[in-house]
Amino acid sequence: MKLLLDIGNSSVNWASEKKSQFFSQGSFIYDKNNFENSLEKNISLTKNVSKILVSNVAGLEIFNSLGSWVKKHGPLELWQSCVEKKFKGLKTSYSETQQMGIDRWLSMVAGWEKHQSSLCVVSCGTALTIDSVDSKGNHLGGYIVPGIDLMQKILIANTEKININIGNNPSIDYASDTKTAVNNGAFFASVSIIDRVVNKLSTELGGMPKCIISGGNASLIKPLLEHRFEYEPNLVLRGLLIAHNTSI
């Protein structure tokens, strides 16, 4: 049995896998100052786990903390994915692959493996990322902007008179108070860039791409979008498993 970890900038998504089936899974916000403790509290490593697969965008310190936690539980193999130039016809546009977040790459890997078609892949986490792929597997490039929560935090932290808590109410309606205006503005900005990219890509391709959305805020953003998106809550984990199985 394998344990799959998608370590983001503020949270971890995980799943236990056997024979390509996820049979237990979850997510949690972690303490950046004590990552080992967060792992210990939220994940139970049983004797059935023989290998841990990792997607990590949180940096070397977090990965080293993971390694220390794993060593306390016995001789488990730790496999970390990295961005490749090519995967089964999918080709990244980055000349320096180490600059691309592994979560973005694995999301595209999962989408390409499943659909083998043009893609618009959106991830709604701490950052909002959008990646475009044509029907030949060419990664055309992407966008990275602050996510819903981060957008609001930046605005609140850098303005004198906006002294509110961040909101998480999915709405793009006109607002008549400051807190609602900040909340709805963040959602409207996110929805607008996603829909604009889909419009741009469909015009360039001469047809609608397969649109996939994932990430912690995906379920909030999806109903507000003009275009139809497929919600894939474990997209990075599925890409991680595919990348691992292809490498062995």
List, by residue number, the catalytic residues: 103
Distance between CA atoms of 174 and 35, rounded to whole angstroms? 40
Place of tokens 């193999």: 77
Give 95-102's long-range contacts (Cβ < 8 A, gap of 24+).
101/57, 101/129, 102/55, 102/56, 102/57
Sign of CA dihedral 70, 24, 231, 171: negative
CA angle 13, 191, 231 (to 5 degrees): 40
Residue 152 contacts residue 166 (beta carbons within 8 Å): yes
Dist. CA 209–CA 229, nearest whole Å: 10
Report the alpha-carbon distance of residue 152 to residue 164 in Å, rounded.
10
CA dist 7 and 153 (Å) reads 21
